[in-house]
């Protein structure tokens, strides 16, 4: 299966779209600050899912999924800060927070699966 067919990647892409749109509504003074950081963190999630999906080894796959999880936490923190600063309304963020939770659960499940999957035995 190609990563573009994976539910996790598609959810992460939907999240990135939402987050980038929200970032575009931040004050102009934040163009090179929080707005830029938020967009980069959002784009990093599906990008790392795709890169991990394309890797051969479980270790590499898990590493990229861990990076995606970290970027997701970074994105969540930045959105919470925007909410606290009054730049983004809580009701506007609810759907995005829902997607963050959903993608986080998927990443956690996939990472756990990769850890618990028995290693292939090498035949000589």
| pLDDT of res. 45 | 98
Is the confidence at residue 118, as pLDDT, over 70? no
Residues 6+ apart with CB under 8 A from 54: 3
Sign, CA torsion 124/60/18/91: positive
Q: What's the average model confidence in pLDDT over 98-106?
A: 97
Q: What's the average model confidence in pLDDT over 77-99?
A: 96
pTM for the model stands at 0.88
CA-based max dimension of the chain: 63
**Domain boundaries of the chain, sorted by first residue:** 3-115
Superfamily of domain 3-115: 23S rRNA-intervening sequence (1.20.1440.60)
Using N-to-C axis directions, what is the helix angle for 58-84 and 7-23, rounded to 10°? 30
What are the tens digits of pLDDT across the range 24-79? 999 888 888 999 999 999 999 999 999 999 998 999 999 999 999 999 999 999 99
CA-closest candidate to residue 79, choices 97, 91, 106, 98: 97
């Amino acid at each position: 299966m190609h990563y573009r067919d994976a539910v996790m990647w598609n959810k992460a892409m939907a999240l990135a779209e939402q987050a980038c749109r929200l970032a575009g509504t931040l004050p102009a003074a934040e163009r090179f600050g929080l707005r830029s950081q938020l967009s980069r963190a959002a784009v990093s999630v599906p990008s790392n899912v795709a890169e991990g999906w394309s890797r051969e080894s479980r270790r590499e796959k898990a590493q990229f999924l861990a990076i995606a999880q970290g970027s997701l936490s970074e994105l969540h923190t930045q959105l919470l800060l925007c909410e606290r600063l009054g730049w983004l309304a809580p009701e506007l963020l609810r759907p995005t927070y829902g997607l963050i939770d959903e993608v986080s659960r998927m990443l956690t499940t996939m990472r756990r699966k990769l850890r618990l999957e028995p290693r292939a035995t090498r035949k000589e």
